Amino acid sequence: MILLDGKSVAEKIRNNLGKKIEKIKKKTGETPGLATILVGADPASKIYVRIKHKACNEVGIDSREIRLPEDVSKEILIQEIEKLNHDKSIHGILLQLPLPPNLDPLEMMNKIDPKKDVDGFHPINAGNLLIGKENFIPCTPKGILTLFTEYDIEVKGKNIVIINHSNIVGKPLSLLLLNRNATITVCHEYTKDLKQFTKLADILIIGIGKAKFIKKEMIKKGVVIIDVGINRIEGKLYGDVDFEDVKEVVSSITPVPGGVGPMTVASLLENTFLAFKKLEITTSF
């Protein structure tokens, strides 16, 4: 069994990115800038935002955090987004999800300048992905593709089952893999007899928020598993796959923690740098 070590791959990405940013800063004085917007005080969201800002600092990306109260009006939030859209020192904007019930996430995402949409959720960037024009790729799917590349996992012609049909992971990932000529099956909570699909998977990708859901009897020998799930039980983190149960059956698997999570953050840094390069017309690049 090969452990797909997202932590070490993400560290390599950060190191390479840090060197590029430092070189550009010395030559031009220019630095990428990322702004995050956190509405409310959701504990998990606060942790995720803190991790993202820490990662920015490590590679030399200027980061700015905008905090708004949970009862903020739609109009005020849009004003904050517009300010960032016009701020030339900010190249990437991340609106931390979930939002309070009174705010429509799709409507708010639509207000972000597509050129600064480092999450890849704006309808323009999502539409480009549909037609095979990959610009800003959502961070978790992008991180998964990078893991495949780093570990020489071929997806062309493979049967890939994705158990997740969200706009953040399942949908964009299915398109990315179709663009790479994989055969894709997308499953979800309404899928009947899930096992009949998972048993056929050469590569299984799951993110449903149910700890230790996938057991060895649900998979075939030699499968590659990407576990996107994060579940906290009595202070410990577990994935959606029962790691101990399947480890003798799989060929490769991501650990939880230390698999997909670090790759998601590394991909955000890459997207911010990409936005910086596109927005700053600088011959030094």
Q: What domains can you pick out in the chain, each with its CATH number?
A: 29-123 (3.40.50.10860), 139-260 (3.40.50.720)
* CA–CA dist 137, 19 (Å, integer): 23
Burial (0-12, 13-18, 19+ Cβ within 10 Å), 150? middle
* CA–CA dist 63, 79 (Å, integer): 19
Task: List the chain residues with pLDDT less than 50.
Answer: 282-285
Q: Classify the phi-psi angles of 258: left when phi > 0, otherwise alpha if psi is within -120 to 50, otherwise beta.
A: left
The residue written with tokens 């979930």 in the block is 98
Output the pLDDT for position 283.
41
Six-digit token pair at 84? Answer: 């960032």
Which secondary-structure segment (H or E) carries 262?
A: helix 260-279
User: The pTM is what?
Assistant: 0.95
DSSP 214: B
Output the pLDDT for position 281.
57
Output the pLDDT for position 280.
81
Question: Which residues are known to be catalytic?
Answer: 52, 96, 119
* CA–CA dist 75, 180 (Å, integer): 41
| pLDDT tens readout for residues 108-141 | 999 999 999 999 999 999 999 999 999 999 999 9
